Structure 1
Amino acid sequence: MPKAYVHTRDGGPETEALTDLDRPRPGPGQILIAVRAAGVNPVDWKLREGFRRPGDPERVFPAVLGSEAAGVVAELGAGVTGFAVGDEVFGSTVGGAYAEYALLTAGVAAHKPAALSFPDAATLPVAAATAYDGVRQLALPRGATLLVTGAGGGVGSATVQIARAVGLRVVGVASEGKKDVVQALGAVHVSSGPGLAERVRAAAPDGIDAVYDLVGGQALAEAAELLKDRSRLVSAAAPLDAVTALGGARIERARTAAVLDAVAGLVVRGDLEPHVTRVLPLEEAGAALRAVEEGHALGKIVIEVAA
């Protein structure tokens, strides 16, 4: 039976296990892929702890962890067009990604360009697409200055690069341990922690035009102080009520194949480096998730599944 890394109930790491599960069957409009790589994201451990998005179905256990994957089409569900068995694809998963087989919704999956590796493709549906959606939502003119909190993580590093690719100046907030990474991406680094607003003012004396928040909490509150126009604040981390109380908005996710094609094109053209810093096998999925959950990961961590 195919292997999958699951959690058996809501809770902490003690609920996780590598187990055997029946091979999924694609329903109408779905494609089954043999997974080659799965991206690891903070939302993965949050869902394990019990977080649910509005509209999420009731969770059935054991539940496979993970939200994004790249692989090879193994089976097509009824009504699927535009894909064939053997195609290399990537997208957000239906029912988990840390597994030998996973389901994608065909309408929001994309073909993987030959020049894009499976590990790199697996970082795009959640992290890079979230970054792309937020930068597009802000719609800043070339030359504007964007402040990115959490700039050293998976979404943050993609945001910095996409913003730079469209002509923005970027100030990236991250820990001192991630300073070199943030600077290498083309951003001005500012250390995270209390007193953030003053450090940003010193680094960007001409001011900040917009904030892309990936941290929430005090960092978001201090970043908001820097804006004259609070409508130029978007967050992928803070709850809706916390963002709107500051005059900002949550990031509006497009979740389309067109966005996946766009971010893949950025990678192929060299404008976006997925910055995969660690690749672990499915058997070490727990270690991969711990690195992200504990906040020590630089860039993106990917789980690779043997062919």
Structure 2
Amino acid sequence: MSRFVQQERFGGPEQLEVVERDEPHPGPGQVRVRVAAAGLNPVDWKVGQHEQVAQAFGVTLPAGFGHDLAGTIDELGEGVLDWSVGDRVFGGRRGAAVADHVVVEASALTRTPDGLDDEVAAALPIAARTADAAVGAVAPRPGETVLIGGAAGGVGVLATQLAVASGARVVATASASNHEFLRELGAEPVAYGDGLVERLRAIAPEGVDAAIDLHGTSTIDAALELGVDPGRISAIAAGPDVPAGVISTGGGGASEGALGRIAAALADGSMVLPIERSFPIERVREAVELQRGGHVRGKLVISMR
């Protein structure tokens, strides 16, 4: 038997149930992954809570939960030639990741580099691609000043490091408890909330060249008030409220090979991605409740070990 987090009705974490099922087996072109860890993303609980969001991602209930996962291939489907049993991999499958065993299309996996822990690998698929797309959309250049809103979350931590690596000066919004951490990443932290524009004018009197909003629209609004060209503002969660000209991005806009490059950088220590907490599968509801609170530094994961 295999443990599996299932959701039969739309709603909050109280709808998540850990059940046991027969072990799944891969079909042609698929592999089975023995999951070591599953990473949580805000989109996971939004899919489980809102039917319209679920429909947009092709999920119908009853379904499993989560997308990102990492582990070891333990079974191959017919015709799979590029993978072997025992290979460490990470990737995703929408509405299925939080489980002992997940059947995945072989093409949806990336090899986990030596030196990269499974929990960090499990936190990568959505966050890494989204961060790469958000930064790439505004194309920061050396000497420019880039504003990143929501910089301490999973996407934000990676986006901040990618922007710093471009040679740009990075001004990053976060709560005060995350300011020292952002300084360690090479960014200049500033508090979000009321008075943001005035604080930005004080810290960057020469102006801001580009902006990346990773949470709502407050950073977009501040950037526009500071005179940033909308074509150099990207957003990942502005929804229908995104102003004209601002670039809406998501993981689908990542550059080729971005996931592998970021994984390699994490493996060699040139980038970091903190895992704030790891929960056993039996405490998945608690983990999702914490994720919904929106104040996680880095990522949350579910450990299947």
What's the TM-score once normalised by structure 2's chain length?
0.92
1:128 Cα shift?
1.9
Q: 1:258 to 1:265 in 2, by over 3 A?
A: same
Report what 1:267 is aligned to.
266
Q: Deviations over 1:146-177 (max 9, x none)?
A: 11111111111111112112222111111223
Moved more, 72-81 or 248-257: 248-257
Q: 1:72 to 1:87 in 2, by over 3 A?
A: same
Equivalent residues of 1:277, 1:301 under 8 A apart: yes
CA distance in 1, matches of 2:249, 2:55: 15
AA partner of residue 57 (structure 2): D
RMSD: 2.0
Tell whether 2:169 aligns with 1:183: no
Equivalent residues of 2:153, 2:297 under 8 A apart: yes
Structure 2: which 5+ runs fail to align? none
What's the TM-score once normalised by structure 1's chain length?
0.91
1:104 is paired with a residue of what secondary structure?
strand
2:157 is paired with a residue of what secondary structure?
helix
Report what 1:277 is aligned to.
276
1:249 counterpart (240, 244, 247) = 247
CA distance in 2, matches of 1:255, 1:141: 18
Structure 1: which 5+ runs fail to align? none
Q: 1:43 to 1:85 in 2, by over 3 A?
A: same
Equivalent residues of 1:94, 1:103 under 8 A apart: no
AA partner of residue 275 (structure 1): P
CA distance in 1, matches of 2:244, 2:22: 47
Report what 1:173 is aligned to.
173
CA distance in 2, matches of 1:56, 1:28: 24
CA distance in 2, matches of 1:76, 1:259: 26
1:275 Cα shift?
1.1
Moved more, 285-294 or 129-138: 129-138
Report what 2:286 is aligned to.
287
Moved more, 155-164 or 98-107: 98-107
The size of the alignment, in residue pairs, is 303
AA partner of residue 212 (structure 2): Y
CA distance in 1, matches of 2:172, 2:254: 25
CA distance in 1, matches of 2:79, 2:221: 47
Report what 2:298 is aligned to.
299
Report what 1:29 is aligned to.
29
AA partner of residue 245 (structure 2): G
2:93 is paired with a residue of what secondary structure?
strand
AA partner of residue 75 (structure 1): E
1:203 Cα shift?
1.5
CA distance in 2, matches of 1:132, 1:206: 26
CA distance in 2, matches of 1:169, 1:132: 17
Q: 1:255 to 1:109 in 2, by over 3 A?
A: farther
